[in-house]
A and B are shown apart, each in its own frame.
Chain A
Amino acid sequence: NAGVTQTPKFQVLKTGQSMTLQCAQDMNHEYMSWYRQDPGMGLRLIHYSVGAGITDQGEVPNGYNVSRSTTEDFPLRLLSAAPSQTSVYFCASSLFFRSGGAKNEQFFGPGTRLTVL
């Protein structure tokens, strides 16, 4: 298994440009999520999905769109990039969180480092 893969690894954008960060997992996980990591702030949840066709907002969703057409893929779209979106983006997947169930470890991708000028 490749686990969780993310592309690209690095990206530089100009303000106003759009792009899609790709995320894929081959573990048949229902739950996928996107986080951004900023210095001194830990990870903040952007969007998440509990299965194909179902997405929901996290803590910091503004400026980002997601879709989940398949179990494997969960792309993150920036429609009009802003300097405030300069960050490291992590995709994660896990089995669906069920209260009282197994530990449901989240597996993280290697990250995409995005700079918006």
Chain B
Amino acid sequence: GEDVEQSLFLSVREGDSSVINCTYTDSSSTYLYWYKQEPGAGLQLLTYIFSNMDMKQDQRLTVLLNKKDKHLSLRIADTQTGDSAIYFCAERDNNDMRFGAGTRLTVKP
């Protein structure tokens, strides 16, 4: 099947920017998503980008999409301790949605 790949861990200092990367393989994906999972909770949609866009900005979040390289990134500006969580990249084509393994972001004070 198709794979969505992410690095498993990222550690940053409070106030720095965080960049979480993701690669996907299905070129027919129509939407790409970033979900956040806090401990003991379900996944919460952070932001999404349609496949014909290159960039989307939403307050502290910036999503970059390189469709040629099938690379998606999530940048969190001014990272706070409350941003510590697992971040999942996901791609969707119609009813078929695939998730990466998640990147655990740790924010150190």
Taking Cβ atoms with an 8 Å cutoff, the residues of A that contact B are 4, 31, 35, 40-45, 48, 50, 59, 90, 92, 97, 99-100, 103-106, 108-111
A-B contact pairs, 14 of them (CB 8 A): A4-B42, A35-B99, A40-B8, A42-B4, A42-B99, A43-B43, A43-B99, A90-B43, A99-B30, A100-B30, A108-B44, A109-B42, A110-B40, A110-B41
Identify A106's interface contact among B30, B97, B101, CB under 8 A.
B97
Assess the A41–B41 pair: CB atoms within 8 A.
Answer: no
Known: A43-B43, A104-B31. 17 other contacts (CB 8 A): A4-B42, A31-B95, A42-B4, A43-B88, A43-B99, A48-B95, A90-B42, A92-B42, A92-B43, A97-B92, A97-B94, A99-B30, A103-B50, A106-B97, A108-B43, A108-B44, A111-B42
Assess the A103–B31 pair: CB atoms within 8 A.
Answer: yes
Identify A42's interface contact among B31, B41, B88, CB under 8 A.
B88
Assess the A110–B42 pair: CB atoms within 8 A.
Answer: yes
Assess the B102–A59 pair: CB atoms within 8 A.
Answer: no
B69-109 vs A, CB cutoff 8 Å, 1 = contact: the mask equals 00000000000000000001000101101011110000000
Interface residues of B in 21-39 (CB under 8 A from A): 30-31, 35
* CB neighbours of A41 from chain B (8 A): 101
CB of B10, distance to nearest CB on chain A (Å): 15
Identify A50's interface contact among B41, B43, B95, B101, CB under 8 A.
B95
Cα–Cα distance between A40 and B5 once the two chains are bound (Å): 11
Identify B41's interface contact among A40, A44, A45, A111, CB under 8 A.
A111
